[in-house]
């Protein structure tokens, strides 16, 4: 039964990933994600339902438009499959509990924000700011379902604390961080805080570590310079994912080695 649920979660994630491809393309351009229907950017032919099945259609079409033969980016099926995989990972980590919808939402909006930040070096407010409300509602429902407000209060405290840290860093060195990162930080802090303060510490810390490692690699091997713009949102999101998955075990392992 549990395996069947995971399969359904994966399929749901792949379908959401298909919608996220629309979001990733249209939101930075200020376009509606509802209309008009998706069409080939080369010939403008609307994409038929049979050619709009996530992942499968791309494979059957061999990555090309049925009408004009223009190549379809590999990124589309990767986003779809990746979202499905993330949904399964969240289901395995969180379990079939009341807070799972909140973490599936985080996975979905995180994929969209990461890809948009990579594309345009910006985290759109239209995705980031409503995420505070969605998080509050979904985690609030979970707190009611569990008859326990402690995780919700911890999530609120963590959201405020992480936002404050990022705001201080931005205020001290505005050119080193975009304010969109500051806005995203509170959302990630809240989701990490619901789980534990260990998850908060690991998630935030690893976000900076991942960003630093990438920056050093860019300088050493890709000809980057001090003025090279690198989107930090994806590293924040991967760091938060690491905190969600491994926060408590990593802290426990560290304390066992250092404290005994």
119: in domain: no
**What is the reported pLDDT for 93?**
96
User: Domain residues for 8?
Assistant: 1-96
Question: Distance of alpha carbon 252 from its chain centroid, rounded?
Answer: 26
Same domain, 63 and 131: no
Do 61 and 176 lie in one domain? The reply is no
DSSP codes, 139-208: HHHHHHHHT--HHHHHHHHHHHHHHHHHHHHHHH-GGGS-HHHHHHHHHHHHHHHHH-HHHHHHHHHHHH
Same-domain status, 167 and 61: no
Q: Are residues 150 and 87 in the same domain?
A: no
> Are 91 and 130 part of one and the same domain?
no
Q: Does residue 137 sit in the same domain as residue 237? A: yes
What is the pTM assigned to this prediction?
0.94
Residues 161 and 253 in one domain: yes
The CA-atom distances, in angstroms, between 200 and each of 129, 182, 222, 238 are 20, 15, 32, 13
pLDDT score of 157: 98
A 10 A CB-CB count for 201 gives 17
pLDDT tens string 161-217: 999 999 999 999 888 889 999 999 999 999 999 999 999 999 999 999 999 999 888
Question: Of 239, 222, 227, 258, which is closest to residue 110 (Cα–Cα)?
Answer: 239
Choosing from 56, 79, 96, the residue where a domain stops is: 96
Per-residue pLDDT of the chain (260 residues; tens, 9 = 90+): 788 999 999 999 999 999 999 999 999 999 999 888 888 877 878 888 888 889 999 898 888 888 888 898 999 999 999 999 999 999 999 999 999 999 999 999 999 999 999 999 999 999 999 999 999 999 999 999 999 999 999 999 999 999 999 999 999 988 888 999 999 999 999 999 999 999 999 999 999 999 999 988 888 877 666 677 889 999 999 999 999 999 878 877 776 777 66
Strand partners, 46: 39
120 within a domain of the structure (yes/no): no
| 164: in domain | yes
Residue 227 CA, chain-centre distance (Å), reads 26
The total number of structural domains in the chain stands at 2
E strand residue ranges, the chain: none
Q: Are residues 60 and 149 in the same domain?
A: no
* 54 and 168 both lie in a single domain: no
């Amino acid at each position: 039964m549990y395996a069947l649920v995971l399969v359904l979660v994966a399929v749901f994630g792949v379908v959401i990933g298909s919608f996220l491809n629309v979001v990733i393309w249209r939101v930075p351009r200020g376009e509606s994600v509802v209309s008009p229907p998706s069409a080939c950017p080369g010939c403008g032919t609307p994409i038929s339902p049979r050619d709009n099945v996530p992942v499968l259609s791309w494979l059957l079409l061999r990555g090309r438009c049925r009408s004009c033969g223009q190549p379809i980016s590999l990124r589309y099926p990767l986003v779809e499959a990746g979202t499905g995989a993330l949904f399964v990972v969240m289901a395995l980590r969180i379990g079939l509990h009341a807070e799972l919808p909140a973490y599936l939402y985080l996975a979905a909006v995180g994929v969209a924000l990461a890809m948009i930040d990579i594309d345009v070096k910006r985290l759109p407010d239209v995705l980031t700011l409503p995420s505070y409300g969605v998080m509050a509602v979904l985690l609030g429902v979970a707190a009611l379902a569990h008859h326990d407000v402690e995780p919700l209060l911890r999530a609120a405290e963590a959201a405020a604390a992480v936002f404050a840290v990022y705001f201080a860093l931005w205020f001290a060195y505005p050119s080193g961080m975009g304010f969109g990162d500051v806005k995203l930080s509170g959302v990630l802090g809240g989701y990490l805080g619901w789980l534990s303060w260990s998850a908060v510490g690991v998630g935030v810390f690893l976000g900076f570590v991942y960003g630093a490692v990438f920056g050093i690699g860019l300088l050493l091997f890709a000809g980057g310079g001090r003025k090279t713009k690198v989107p930090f949102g994806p590293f924040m999101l991967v760091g938060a994912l690491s905190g969600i998955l491994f926060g408590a075990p990593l802290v426990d392992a560290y304390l066992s080695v250092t404290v005994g």
